[in-house]
């Protein structure tokens, strides 16, 4: 027999639990319950919960709260069936008729393999389940919105490409001396048309690339990349923009081993950083590209003396369509796609990209790429598909039986 002191101590332990609790004896009798259990199932005055009271009555009262279909023969629903399965650890989520959801856990109590009874705990998880439901619903809505956005982006981009191609073609024809000499004013107008048509073509290309990357990721073709040569090509590709902006450019690249990567995609990443530098750096400013091998990586840095990036936005700008406030308010054109594309390409190479510097004094973009390329088995690693690449308790229903019982700114 349990002493009065031991019984008080046991009751104090049960009352300290954050859940409703019932302690069952090996003879299927109530040993003790806490106030949370009584309140949870409105048992005050409706059931004998004193030590030694039969569990069968409690089971019936608690089970009346459950919405479980008792015609389901796969679930025990008679009190005797429920109590017969008390010897194993069990967990179930029980929907109640009043809209609550309770997680019930049964933990058998043993000493030296001898069964002594079981501890039943009941936790109200209604708010948790509601949040899970809301999250699933919101995720489904976001997924559909993303699908619609990608479909619209692809359709709009394709629709815009045809007229832009015509504009660019006619612009080239008008520039041909065979069609007559243009005045200086006409030539400046034509230059603006061709320049902006080219910019729109690049924006469309970025939109299409972003849509494709969301669907399947960028398609990378890995081969040895001469880093100094790749950087020199990127700088030459954008020298016209830098000169037009009145920005001085410097390339300082050490010799080093070839990098395993996609030369075209990496040059596009560096080119986007140079475009940004030309756009956000006032005339008379400076853009520098420095690169050197450091251990098993190539470190590449593109720095400018432009408007810089506020510290709180230095992570967000690598998300598509996000631009820093000083870029938006300054009237600088852009979509916010270039850095998002760049981050994806760098990460698919197994590398990292980050930005530093100081707002008002310039931005510093730092890229670190593994010389050996992405780890084996990475999504874009061609060796990933190579042939030699490594590639308890019984079911239960508790008191209240439940179904599912189981254990860049551009």
Flag whether pLDDT at 365 surpasses 80: yes
User: Percentage of the chain surpassing pLDDT 70?
Assistant: 83
Q: Dihedrals φ, ψ of 54, to 5°? A: -70, 140
pLDDT at residue 340 in the model? 86
Q: Which residue has the higher pLDDT, 30 or 153?
A: 30
Q: Which residue has the higher pLDDT, 300 or 116?
A: 300
Q: How confident is the model at residue 261 (pLDDT cuts 50, 70, 90)?
A: very high
Beta-strand runs (E) in 166-284: 223-225, 248-253, 259-261
Lowest mean pLDDT among 110-114, 144-148, 317-321: 144-148
Whether pTM exceeds 0.75: no
Q: Which residue has the higher pLDDT, 141 or 205?
A: 141
Lowest mean pLDDT among 51-55, 80-84, 369-373: 80-84
pLDDT at residue 171 in the model? 84
Closest-CA residue to 207 (of 267, 270, 144, 164): 164
H-run or E-run covering 294: strand 286-294
Q: How confident is the model at residue 172 (pLDDT cuts 50, 70, 90)?
A: confident
Q: Which residue has the higher pLDDT, 297 or 42?
A: 297
Q: Across the chain, what does the average pLDDT equal?
A: 82
Q: Which residues pair with 369 in a beta bridge?
A: 298
DSSP symbol at 181:
P
- With beta carbons less than 8 A apart as the criterion, state whether 59 and 83 touch: yes
Query: Among 1-10, 166-175, 311-320, 332-341, which range has the highest average pLDDT?
Result: 311-320
For 39-79, the pLDDT digits (tens) are 999 898 888 898 888 888 888 888 888 876 433 333 445 55
Q: What number is the average pLDDT over the span 134-141?
A: 88
Flag whether pLDDT at 121 surpasses 80: yes
Lowest mean pLDDT among 157-171, 220-234, 383-397: 383-397
H-run or E-run covering 109: strand 101-111
Mark out the alpha helices in 293-396 (DSSP H runs): 325-329, 338-348
Q: What number is the average pLDDT over the span 350-354?
A: 96
Q: What number is the average pLDDT over the span 138-156?
A: 77
For 126, 164, 240, 395, 397, the CA distances from 123, given in Å and listed in that order, are: 9, 63, 68, 20, 16
pLDDT at residue 69 in the model? 45
Q: What number is the average pLDDT over the span 147-166?
A: 74
pLDDT at residue 372 in the model? 95
Closest-CA residue to 33 (of 57, 58, 56): 58
Closest-CA residue to 286 (of 332, 252, 324, 326): 252
**Owner of token pair 């450019």:** 249
- With beta carbons less than 8 A apart as the criterion, state whether 237 and 271 touch: yes
Q: What number is the average pLDDT over the span 263-283?
A: 93
Flag whether pLDDT at 338 surpasses 90: no
Q: What number is the average pLDDT over the span 105-115?
A: 87
Query: How far does Cα 161 stand from its chain's mean position?
Result: 32
Q: How confident is the model at residue 319 (pLDDT cuts 50, 70, 90)?
A: confident
For 89, 170, 210, the CA distances from 74, given in Å and listed in that order, are: 19, 75, 50
How far is 265 from 347, CA to CA, in rounded Å?
A: 12
pLDDT at residue 256 in the model? 95
């Amino acid at each position: 027999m349990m002493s009065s002191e031991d019984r008080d101590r046991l009751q104090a332990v049960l009352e300290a639990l954050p859940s409703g609790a019932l302690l069952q004896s090996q003879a299927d009798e109530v040993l003790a319950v806490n106030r949370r259990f009584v309140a949870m199932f409105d048992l005050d005055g409706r059931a004998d919960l004193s030590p030694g009271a039969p569990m069968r009555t409690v089971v019936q009262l608690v089970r009346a709260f459950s919405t479980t279909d008792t015609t389901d023969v796969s679930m025990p629903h008679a009190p005797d069936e429920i109590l017969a399965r008390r010897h194993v650890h069990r967990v179930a989520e029980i929907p109640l008729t009043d809209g609550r959801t309770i997680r019930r856990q049964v933990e058998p109590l043993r000493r030296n393999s001898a069964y002594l009874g079981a501890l039943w705990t009941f936790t109200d998880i209604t708010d948790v389940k509601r949040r899970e439901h809301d999250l699933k619903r919101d995720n489904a809505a976001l997924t559909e919105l993303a699908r619609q956005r990608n479909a619209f982006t692809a359709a709009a981009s394709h629709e815009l490409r045809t007229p832009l191609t015509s504009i660019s073609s006619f612009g080239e024809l008008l520039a041909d001396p065979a069609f007559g000499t243009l005045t200086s004013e006409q030539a400046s107008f034509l230059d603006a048309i061709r320049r902006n048509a080219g910019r729109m073509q690049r924006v469309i290309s970025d939109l299409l690339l972003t849509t494709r990357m969301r669907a399947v990721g960028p398609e990378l073709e890995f081969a040895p990349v001469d880093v100094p040569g790749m950087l020199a090509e990127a700088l030459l590709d954008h020298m016209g923009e830098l000169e037009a902006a009145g920005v001085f450019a410097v390339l300082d690249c050490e010799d080093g081993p070839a990098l395993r990567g996609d030369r075209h995609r990496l040059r596009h990443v560096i080119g986007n950083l140079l475009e940004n530098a030309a756009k956000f750096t006032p005339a008379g400013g400076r853009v520098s590209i420095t690169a050197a091998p450091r251990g098993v990586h190539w470190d590449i840095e593109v720095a400018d003396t432009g408007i810089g990036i506020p510290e709180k936005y230095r992570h967000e700008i690598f998300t598509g369509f996000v631009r820093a406030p000083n870029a938006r308010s300054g009237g600088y054109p852009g979509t916010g796609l270039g850095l998002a594309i760049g981050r994806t390409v760098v990460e698919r190479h197994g590398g990292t990209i980050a930005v530093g510097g100081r707002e008002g004094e310039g931005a510093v973009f730092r890229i670190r790429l593994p010389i050996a390329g992405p780890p084996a088995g990475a999504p874009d690693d061609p060796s990933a598909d190579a042939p030699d690449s490594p590639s308890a308790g019984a079911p239960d229903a508790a008191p209240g039986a439940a179904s599912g019982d189981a254990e860049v700114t551009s």
